[in-house]
Amino acid sequence: MRIALFVTCVNDLLYPDTGKAVVRLLERLGHQVDFPEAQTCCGQMHANSGYRDEAVPLVRGFVEAFDRYDAVVAPSGSCVAMVRESYPRLVPEAAGIAERVYELSELLVDVLGVTDVGASFPYRVTYHPTCHGLRMLRLGDKPLRLLRAVEGLELVPLPGAEECCGFGGTFALKNSDVSTAMLADKCAAICDTGADVIAAADNSCLAHIGGGLSRRGAPVRVMHYAEILGGGS
Amino acid sequence: MSERLPHGSGRLAGPRPFPDAAVVELGKPQLRANLHKATHTIRNKRARVVDELPDWEKLRLAGSAIKSDVMARLPELLVQFEAAATAAGATVHWARDAAEACEVVTGLVRETGADEVVKVKSMATQEIELNEALEAAGITATETDLAELIVQLNDDQPSHILVPAIHYNRSQIRDIFTERMGDAPAGLTDEPRVLAEAARLHLRRKFLSSKVAISGANFAVAETGTLVVLESEGNGRMCLTLPETLISVVGVEKLLPSFTDLEVFLQLLPRSSTGERMNPYTSMWTGVTPGDGPQNVHIVLIDNGRSATLADEVGRQALHCIRCSACMNVCPVYERVGGHAYQSVYPGPIGAILSPQMTGVSASGVSSTLPFASTLCGACYDVCPVRINIPEVLVHLRQEAVDAHRGKPSAERTAMKAMGWVMGDRRRYARALRAARAGSAPLAAVLRRRKVRRLPWPMSAWTASRDAPLPATETFRDWWRRTR
Amino acid sequence: MNARDEILARLRTALGPTPSAPPVPRDYRVDDDLDDAARLETFVDRLVDYKAEVTRCTPDTLAEAVGAALAGVERLVVPGDVPEGWLSAYPGTAVADGPQPLTVSDLDDADAVLTGCAVAAALTGTIVLDGGAGQGRRALTLVPDHHVCVVTADQVVGGVPAAIRRLAPTRPLTFISGPSATSDIELNRVEGVHGPRRLHVIIVES
């Protein structure tokens, strides 16, 4: 299957390893990956901050970049939720592409029917289901099923997993003190699990969580789950 | 359109921006502990009783649709309600805003000659600041709901719509009773049973002797003119049954078209609010019943910003709210800061969309900051029994708040526009990525790591509590070009 | 313009010329799928869960059950039309409300009240009073601290929708689910505040 990768702006600049892992993983599973270079940003930050006029050109740009593909994958629950939930409201012509954009675990489990991707990762991992993947995309246990199938990986439950980490895009800046209080509880819960790695489906949330863990000097690595799945056995 | 209709007044919006008010509340460790314990207890109880109903989602859909229907037909349903209630012996009054509502109620109490009234917990009367108006008129109002009583005794403000004293723990309540309740028994312990008994004794004489009661209503049935109050303690029944005069203050959005619609809402509300299959007591009355209950029955229908809210096609769903408080019980922001930071009788997620609409989102003070007081995590929408899409309305109101200030200089707008311009074109975008990477490279080299502990404004708000990632040594698109 | 007309005009302005709403889907449960025995079991289970006391009896043992429920009660109040047979095993004095209504103070002095009900909902453990036969006015079941309520098996329906559909909306209605309670202190439920602190339900099965 020919699949277009929407890497997302955050990953492009800050976390290219996540994008590389998706490419490696899908190619290992025998699929062809395209990276349409016209892609930029989905516009979520603008739309969610009240700048619709600035978001609309980005939506149109997304449609132009991806409209010719049957399947688009993005390693971000939040960006996919933006495309699926908000695009049709912002630009009615975007409704078609919105249905063909998948978060990585949706593509693997629902479209490609794979849960064991042949990865190996001999560490204790805990998983934080990020809010937009959890409540807008209803990813459910798809990422967990993928992680459980990874050779050597020990998945430990995260208490209060479904509670928001406090990132929330510009919320982290505009309401920094509340965001920090939420982060403190999330970091404490992660540390209590004794996991080596905290994984999630969104590097934006992980930047926030990782920033908090690093400030505390906590010995927990932060990884997008795509990077775990991308590692071969 | 909403700008053409008058906004509401009363206790709907305080003067401080939300982040400033929140930071004060965050500094209270006892408050945080109390809120954590209470919200987690109630959300677990709710989840258990909701899981028990296989048709919960169908009930939510029905509840949402009934409320949409009510909004679409509100003028005709209000006229129908008025006619039915009047025919049953009630007197219906109308009030455009808080001041007018207080004037009407004060006048009605004065007519009875009473100088004290008992009150059933009611959001509408708090919204219009009725107790203050009554006091100014020389009328003493006694709150009879246990939590309202605690808050009133301590000269405090409620911090939750269902459990107004959620910010106190048992020993703080014991201290308030001991210090402020004249007839508190000596040696009061902090056992909840003992505290409830003290409140029972304190209020019993008042219940048995009061001539006038003031209530709100959870629902008003247009078809029959019936009012409905759900409660737990029996203070509601006392107020609704024993006095000669009953005055109920009801927001115009509380209507339901028909009596059978209650079969949906009497399932949705108790399970969502107290996490019970059914609350202990629900009272329904239609005008006057000879020989049974108050013989002098008044209903005051209030607008106070509701018509302005109705004018917004996206935002009007906030009027569907049945005040269950499930949204605040699951909200990670509410859980950290409590209700006072919202500076309105309506706190939490529903307050963040209701208060700004009732007062106008561009009003100064807290209103313009409330739509931003959320991570958009969506937990509120998931539990809302009438499916109010709170995150959607929050984003919509952010848009309004931003639009209201268009044309005025703002660093945020400049940054957003600049980013939009850069991201609107692949070449500009690719150049910007490279520039960001190149710009940070010396910093990464000096630090010898890809994390930075302190950044200048506005990112200083980030690095105050979190390290920040630096751009990678090679962007993804550069890697793709290089290797493909 | 007066307040009424102005508010109605505002609301019409707010809605615009053609307000509309989608039809209401009513595919939620109205009837339960329980047989009579299971429905009564559920009713009992829910009542007990609320800390109500429950006695099950037959028409023949009803008076005896009432007598037992009222053990220790010296001053009992009853509605004027309480069925005489209910009280045949009660040794104390039953004061009827009416034709001269009892005062609030009379009610406050009573140890207990005995009534019937209009309908009961099993799934929520709710009894509903509508001021009809054997129930009296609302104050009667409110002021005394102990409420004994006789429910016949044919009055017990499944859930709230079935109960609502049996009721006349314009009567004064009181839905009772267990004794009075509060959750206002740390959200822990405490039974017994202003309403009757004891609720005893006697279920009559033929």
pLDDT digit string, tens, across residues A26-73 = 999 999 999 999 999 999 999 999 999 999 999 999 999 999 999 999
> Which one of B377, B414, B416, B440 makes the best mutation probe of the A interface by having the most chain A beta carbons within 10 Å?
B377
SS3 per residue for chain B: CHHHCCCCCCCCCCCCCHHHHHHHHHCCHHHHHHHHHHHHHHHHHHHHHHHCCCCHHHHHHHHHHHHHHHHHCHHHHHHHHHHHHHHCCCEEEEECCHHHHHHHHHHHHHHHCCCEEEECCCHHHHHCCHHHHHHHCCCEEEECCHHHHHHHHCCCCCCCCCCCCCCCCHHHHHHHHHHHCCCCCCCCCCCHHHHHHHHHHHHHHHHHHCCEEEECCCEEECCCCEEEEEECCCHHHHHHHCCCEEEEEEEHHHEECCHHHHHHHHHHHHHHHCCCCCCCEEEEEECCECCECCCEEEEEEECCCHHHHHCCCCHHHHHHCCCCCHHHHHCHHHHHHCCHHHCCCCCHHHHHHHHHHHHCCCCCCCCCCHHHCCCCCCHHHHHCCCCCCHHHHHHHHHHHHHHHCCCCCCHHHHHHHHHHHHHCCHHHHHHHHHHHHHHHHHHHHHHCCCEECCCCCCCHHHHCCCCEECCCCCCHHHHHHHHC
In a domain, B182, yes or no: yes
| Residue-level pLDDT at B3 | 47
Query: Which sign, positive or negative, has the C-alpha torsion C5, C11, C15, C19?
Result: negative
Residues in A closer than 8 angstroms to B370, CB to CB, are none
- The shortest C-alpha distance from C60 to chain B (Å) reads 31
Residues B157 and B300 in one domain: yes
Percent of chain A with pLDDT over 70: 99
Tokens of A55: 């978001």
Question: What's the pLDDT score for residue B445?
Answer: 78
Q: Which residues of B touch A227 (CB under 8 A)?
A: none
Q: Is the model's pLDDT at B261 over the cut of 50?
A: yes
* CB atoms A61 and B395 under 8 Å: no
Contact between C116 and C153 under an 8 Å Cβ cutoff? The reply is no
> Distance between CA atoms of A61 and A30, rounded to whole angstroms?
29
Q: Which residues from chain B sit within 8 angstroms of residue A132, using beta carbons?
A: 376, 378
What pLDDT is attached to residue A232?
Answer: 59
Q: Nearest by CB to B263, which of C160, C177, C195? A: C160
Is the pLDDT score of B1 beyond 60?
no
Q: Is the pLDDT of residue B74 over 50?
A: yes
Give the pLDDT of residue C183: 86
Please tell me whether residues B284 and B431 are part of one structural domain. no
Under a CB-based contact definition with an 8 Å cutoff, are residues A167 and A178 in contact? no
pLDDT tens digits, residue range B316-326?
Answer: 999 999 999 99
Q: In this complex, which of B62, B82, B260 lies closest to C164 when CB atoms are compared?
A: B260
Query: Are residues A19 and B476, on separate chains, in Cβ contact within 8 Å?
Result: yes
User: Domain containing B238: what range?
Assistant: 66-306
- Contact status, residue A86 vs residue A47, Cβ threshold 8 Å: yes
pLDDT tens sequence across B432-458: 888 888 888 887 777 777 788 888 888
Which residues from A are below 8 Å from B420, CB to CB? 46, 51, 54-55, 57-58
Q: Does some domain include residue B403?
A: no
Which residue from C25, C159, C167 is facing B62, i.e. has the nearest CB? C25
Q: How far apart are CA B294 and CA B317, in angstroms?
A: 34
Cβ-Cβ contacts under 8 Å, B439 against chain A: none
**Disruptive mutation site among B376, B387, B389, B397 for chain A (greatest number of A CBs within 10 Å):** B376
- Mean pLDDT score of chain A, rounded to an integer? 96
Q: How many structural domains is chain B composed of?
A: 2
Considering only the beta carbons, identify the residue of A19, A173, A212 that sits closest to B461.
A173
- As a whole number of angstroms, the distance between CA C157 and CA C34 comes to 10
What integer pLDDT is reported at residue B4 of this predicted model? Answer: 77
ipTM of the complex: 0.97
Of A13, A54, A169, the CB nearest to B436: A13
Report pLDDT digits (tens) over C50-64: 999 999 999 999 999
The closest CB to that of A212, out of B379, B425, B466, belongs to B466
Farthest CA pair distance, chain B: 90
pLDDT at B409 over 90: no
For residues B3-8, average pLDDT:
84
Contact at CB, B426 and A38, closer than 8 angstroms: yes
Q: Which residue of A has its CA nearest to B437?
A: A13
Provide the chain B residues 88-127 that lie in CB contact (below 8 A) with chain C: 88, 93-96, 100
Q: What is the pLDDT of residue A1?
A: 83
Reference A126, options A151, A154, A152; nearest CA is A154
d(CA B146, CA B203): 10
- Asked if omega into B458 is within 30° of 0 (cis), the reply is yes
Q: Specify the range with the lowest mean pLDDT, choosing from B203-212, B269-278, B289-298, B447-456.
A: B447-456
Residues 379-408 of B with CB under 8 A from A: 379, 381-382, 395, 398-403
Helix (H, G, I), strand (E, B) or coil at C187: coil
How is residue A14 annotated by DSSP?
T
Flag residues of chain C having pLDDT under 70: none
Assess B436–A contact: CB distance below 8 Å, yes or no: yes
Please tell me the distance from the alpha carbon of residue B320 to that of residue B70, in angstroms, as a whole number: 9
Q: List CB contacts of B448: < 8 A, sequence separation 6 or more.
A: none
Listed in sequence order, the residues at least 6 apart from A101 whose beta carbon sits closer than 8 Å to its beta carbon are A6, A66, A72, A73, A74, A80, A83, A84
| B419 falls within a domain | no
Residue B374 belongs to a domain:
no
Q: Which residue of A has its CA nearest to B25?
A: A178
pLDDT at A186: 98
B135 Cβ contact list (under 8 Å, min separation 6): B141
Question: CB of A205 within 8 A of CB of A165?
Answer: yes
The residue written with tokens 């800061």 in the block is B337
CB-nearest to A48 from B26, B376, B484 is: B376
> Taking CB atoms and an 8 Å limit, are B292 and C173 in contact across chains?
no
Mutate to test the interface with C, among B78, B262, B335 (most CBs of C within 10 A): B262
Nearest chain A residue to B22 by CA: give it: A178
Q: Is the pLDDT of residue A194 over 90?
A: yes
pLDDT digits (tens, 9 = 90+) for B208-244: 999 999 999 999 999 999 999 999 999 999 999 999 9
- CB < 8 Å to A136, chain B: 378
**Residue A163: its chain B contacts at CB < 8 A?**
332, 379
Kindly provide the b/e burial profile for residues C20-53, where b requires at least 16 CB atoms within 10 angstroms of the residue's own CB.
Answer: eeeebebebbbebebeeeebbebbbebbeebebe
pLDDT tens per residue across span B41-58: 999 999 999 999 999 999
Q: Which residue has the tokens 């926030």?
A: A208
C14–B283 C-beta distance less than 8 A: no
Q: What is the CATH number of domain A124-230?
A: 3.40.50
What residues pair up with B118 in beta bridges, in sequence order? B142, B213
Q: Which residues does residue B395 pair with via DSSP β-bridges, in sequence order?
A: none
Inter-residue contact B267 to B322 (CB < 8 Å): no
Q: Which chains touch A (3 or more CB pairs under 8 A)?
A: B
- Between chain A and chain B, the number of residue pairs with CB atoms below 8 A apart is 194
Statement: residue A93 has pLDDT above 70: yes
| Domain A2-111: assigned CATH number | 3.40.50
A49, A57, A166: residue with CB nearest B332:
A166
What is the chain A residue with the closest CA to B436?
A13
Is residue A233 predicted with pLDDT exceeding 60? no
Task: Give B385: exposed, middle or buried? Use CB within 10 Å, 0-12, 13-18, 19+.
Answer: buried
- Give counts: helices (H), strands (E), chain A: 14, 8
Does residue B201 fall inside a structural domain?
yes
Cα B377 to Cα B390: distance, rounded to the nearest angstrom? 10
- Measured between beta carbons, the chain C residues lying within 8 angstroms of B61 are 25
Residues 322 through 361 of chain B touching chain A, CB cutoff 8 Å: 332-333, 336-337
Last residue of a domain, one of B262, B278, B306: B306
Separation CA A148–CA B270 (nearest Å)? 39
Select the residue of B199, B263, B303 nearest C193 (Cβ to Cβ). B199
Q: Which of B277, B310, B357 to mutate to test the interface with C (most CBs of C within 10 A)?
A: B277
DSSP state of A175: T
Domains of chain C with CATH codes = 26-204 (3.40.50.10420)
B118 vs B355: CA distance, rounded Å: 27
* Parts of chain A belonging to CATH 3.40.50: 2-111, 124-230
Q: Does chain C touch chain A (at least 3 C-beta pairs within 8 Å)?
A: no
- Using CB atoms within 10 Å of the CB of residue B220, give its burial: 0 to 12 exposed, 13 to 18 middle, 19+ buried: buried
